[in-house]
Structure 1
């Protein structure tokens, strides 16, 4: 059964990614191994399930029929697993969790340490990244729970976790009146935060910012600010550890409203809910 289920997952992933290499990366298997499994699967039908093109792969008519079958089979297998897990007296099974990188860096380790100690039979699968990626994983049902920052609204149940200020962050020697002449540091983050940055700037300055520094992480951004190499707009999480070395100023919209960013937990509502999922939801609500 496990081998058949793996074939369903492989086929569905290729169909949704439209690309064998991307599907292999997503499934954490080599491309040759994935291509071999697909070839063996297609032998059962005596005809191709995909049409290979220069832009990727698309389903044949038979492939479309098998795609719907595989999707339905995976759903029914998940329902069976959930029913069997919920019959047990102990909380066990797999928890598929996704979290924004910042939350994972500062808050999640303590939460997971306590949760796994209380529920040692739960197997944890965790993915982290910018919130827009976690939204995609949640929407595609690749994860059961998503901890997401910003103004996203994926379909599912939402639990408010916290709200934090968005801050102007400069070196101790920077004068806010000179921001237009000082390099703005932009870093890899969620697009919704870029929108906040740009909107705030336009409300307060008439000339474009002096953009030129593009970094990959918030941690690197903070280090650059410490060395007076530029300024940035950052969420408050983690900034308290640098308060002695940088200037942190919470921002406001031009109507006086504080600029804040929410962090929420999203989960897929199911009856009955998987024990591991419900246990994590309850644990977070008690300890956040």
Structure 2
């Protein structure tokens, strides 16, 4: 068994489908099937059954799939420790980044970091903040950027805060908000809860959702075209000077803020390239990110 075999088990267990697993692994289906048969031969057990609903793992297969995560992490740590013995700062930094942060901050941030540390490479995993929080908990990434109050008991740093805004092409009266068309988008559960709580603190009727889209950026474009108002984080509106904005405030008049955090494990900064990145982030002025 090599690390590629463990990866095959991990991906196949997640997908439960030979076609999808082969596609994710960039190998052909026959090659994947052949490799799976070799693994079964090596252990002397059947690992999977093929059924109408896809691949079903046997009890032995379930056990090996769970071992796959541990083995891949162990192999990864060994490689990182070997690289860490070099005098220069080099390695592959694994980052877990929320979709929103990826779109608006990450490219400029990585460019600035790469200018200082040209020998460090990146592997970036993106998703919702809840998905990224899971990745850092399971040690699948070295550093995570998440938005919202997610539980984390290891090392963390507050990067910045932003207000939540009502955004509209034209000036609007808050008293009329329930009767105006709203453009909604798929967002993180914590932000959705904060917005919903604010709404029901102020209005007795539900919002008039006229358009639903999948991304905040699409939502902003709809607002720019005068198709309705939206409730969006202020960062996404920084480049939209011609949008009318009102910050959401709680009953006691305090602005409703969303925080962006950097999470990492204390043990990870024993790796030179992780320590370099954390120290870089602690000195970074986010206003200067292009």
For the aligned residue pairs, the C-alpha RMSD in angstroms reads 2.5
Alpha-carbon distance in 2 for matches of 1:97, 1:264: 13
Residue 249 of structure 1, CA deviation: 1.0
1:53-84, CA deviations, whole angstroms, 9 ceiling, x for partnerless residues? 44454432332443455444333323322321
Q: How does 1:59-70 map to 2 (within 5 A)?
A: 59-67=57-65, 69-70=67-68
Taking structure 1 as reference, are residues 122 and 237 closer, same or farther at Cα in structure 2, changes over 3 Å only? same
Greater mean alpha carbon deviation, residues 28-37 or residues 250-259: 28-37
Taking structure 1 as reference, are residues 263 and 122 closer, same or farther at Cα in structure 2, changes over 3 Å only? same
Q: Number of matched residues?
A: 285
SS in 2 for 1:255: coil
The answer on whether the counterparts of 1:96 and 1:143 sit within 8 Å (CA) in structure 2 is yes
Partner residue of 2:93? Answer: 95
The answer on whether the counterparts of 1:139 and 1:155 sit within 8 Å (CA) in structure 2 is no
The answer on whether the counterparts of 2:84 and 2:91 sit within 8 Å (CA) in structure 1 is no
1:177-227, CA deviations, whole angstroms, 9 ceiling, x for partnerless residues? 222121111112212111122111111111111013111222221121122
Taking structure 1 as reference, are residues 109 and 68 closer, same or farther at Cα in structure 2, changes over 3 Å only? closer
TM superposition score normalised by structure 1 = 0.88
Taking structure 1 as reference, are residues 69 and 230 closer, same or farther at Cα in structure 2, changes over 3 Å only? closer
Q: How does 1:1-288 map to 2 (within 5 A)?
A: 4-20=2-18, 23-24=21-22, 27=25, 33-67=31-65, 69-154=67-152, 156-243=154-241, 245-270=242-267, 273-288=270-285
Taking structure 1 as reference, are residues 146 and 276 closer, same or farther at Cα in structure 2, changes over 3 Å only? same
Structure 1 unaligned runs (5+)? none
Alpha-carbon distance in 2 for matches of 1:42, 1:276: 38
TM superposition score normalised by structure 2 = 0.87
